[in-house]
Amino acid sequence: MSYLSELQKFYPHTYKLRYAIQRYNAHVEWEHEDPTVITIHETTLNYGGPEEGGWWYQAGLPVLTHCIFSKRQAIQTFIQYFDEYEIQEQPSLGISTTYSNYEVNFDSKYAAHYPTQRPYYC
């Protein structure tokens, strides 16, 4: 069961708000600054190579960068995009019938392609 499913189970009316606040606070904790944008990427799993039975890596194509100016606006906008891009209803990228998913994140820089260089097996 996913983290979002657990939140929805215990907090059916406020789980999106709780998830958005948790993501905001995680950004502040890791980056030591408030986020300045919300980024949206279309993510895909790409084949990395045949080593050890094959491996895959996640790549992101930038879709949107939305500037934010306050924590309140950031949380509201995050929830808006969460609903608009149907984040919770997306199947896992690991399912063979799923080509791509959308990812909504808080960030301090504009949305950009990732990874910048193709990863390789060590």
DSSP state of 92: P
Confidence (pTM): 0.89
8 Å CB contact between 4 and 19: yes
pLDDT at res. 59: 96
User: How many Cβ atoms are within 10 Å of 101's Cβ, its own excluded?
Assistant: 19
Q: What does the pLDDT look like over 10-21, one tens digit per residue? A: 999 999 999 999
Q: What does the pLDDT look like over 65-119, one tens digit per residue? A: 999 999 999 999 999 999 999 998 888 887 777 889 999 999 999 999 999 998 9
pLDDT at res. 2: 81
